[in-house]
Chains A and B, each alone.
Chain A
Amino acid sequence: MNNSSFDFTVDKAAKTVLLTREFDAELSLVWDAFTKPEIIDQWWAPAPFSSKTKSMNFEVGGRRFYAMVTPEGQERWSVQKYKSITPKSNIKFFNCFSDKDENLQLPGSDWDLNFSEEDGMTTVTISIYNESLERMEMLLEGFLQGMKATMQNLENLLATQTVK
């Protein structure tokens, strides 16, 4: 059902994860999906997790305070601080785990998202710079614990996907 191109690379030396994905939708729609909390929450958390945006002020200097919620109801809070916004073109923000009171758990990561449209298809390029990839690894592993069944499903899914 999905044949969009997906490019995923990790530059360990530069401590950067690079993602490029094409979407079968016009730019304004994709932009909304990345900038409106009610839409973000519909796709941000990989199932069976859910995303819950508690507050979001999409402007330079503003922040999104949100949680990934496990099926058991456990919440993992994060804060995104918007550093730069060029409408329908670019977003730069700092992302960091936090506690439920918005106290940051440093270090975090720097995100740079680019949007462009061609022939009704929208390409999103995301670069994520982490001060410590190993820290990201630890956090991710903690988060993914107990998710083995889902990973199994994902493997099946992956087999049908085009991964470059």
Chain B
Amino acid sequence: MKSDYMRRDIFQAIADPTRRAIITLIALQAMTPNAIADNFNTTRQAVSKHLRILTECDLVKQEQQGREIYYSLQIDKMKEIDKWLDQLRALWETRFNQLDKVLSTIKKSKK
């Protein structure tokens, strides 16, 4: 269950270097919080907090396997971010290409 007010800024979530490292780690395979914590020089609690933030952003998902909870990456969500950035870049490209045309028209009219 996730309530709306708990939702986090996705860009804030991936701005943190430890969280980015966690993303890279679990992109390869689903891992338990303990296994993830083994890779960092930090407490298990700190890692749990990072995982909670990433989960709230839907960037990672948890799955119960026996007595353990495994965390894995939501690839689609990561792709969404890329897609948005592509759109933003496309918008600016269109804008600047239009400006190229305007500039060349003005240059011609001045000659």
A: which residues have CB within 8 A of B? 2, 4, 6, 8, 10, 12-13, 15, 17, 19, 21, 23-25, 29-30, 32-33, 39, 42-47, 132-134, 137, 140-141, 144, 151, 154-155, 157-158, 161, 163
Q: How many residues on B have C-beta within 8 angstroms of the other chain's C-beta atoms?
A: 28
Taking the complex as formed, is B75 at the interface, i.e. its CB lies under 8 A from any CB of chain A? Answer: no
Whole-angstrom distance between the alpha carbons of A115 and B99 in the complex? 15
In the complex, identify which listed stretch (B30-38, B45-53, B62-70, B81-89) lies at the interface while the others stay far away.
B81-89
Contact of B90 among A15, A43, A137, A158 (CB under 8 A): A158
Write 20 A-B pairs (CB below 8 A) sorted by A numbering: A2-B100, A19-B92, A21-B92, A23-B99, A23-B103, A24-B100, A29-B106, A43-B98, A43-B101, A47-B94, A132-B9, A133-B9, A137-B10, A140-B84, A140-B87, A144-B87, A154-B94, A157-B97, A161-B93, A163-B89
Is A4 in contact with B100, judged by CB distance below 8 angstroms? yes
Residue of B nearest to A131 (CB): B9
Taking the complex as formed, is B40 at the interface, i.e. its CB lies under 8 A from any CB of chain A? Answer: no
Is B103 in contact with A25, judged by CB distance below 8 angstroms? yes
Is B9 in contact with A8, judged by CB distance below 8 angstroms? no
Is A6 in contact with B107, judged by CB distance below 8 angstroms? no
Residue of B nearest to A42 (CB): B102
Taking the complex as formed, is B104 at the interface, i.e. its CB lies under 8 A from any CB of chain A? Answer: yes
Whole-angstrom distance between the alpha carbons of A46 and B90 in the complex? 9
For residue B97, which residues in chain A have a CB less than 8 angstroms away from its CB?
Answer: 2, 157
Taking the complex as formed, is B91 at the interface, i.e. its CB lies under 8 A from any CB of chain A? Answer: yes
**Could you say which of B14, B95, B107 has the most chain A C-beta atoms within 10 Å of its C-beta?**
B95
Is A24 in contact with B103, judged by CB distance below 8 angstroms? yes
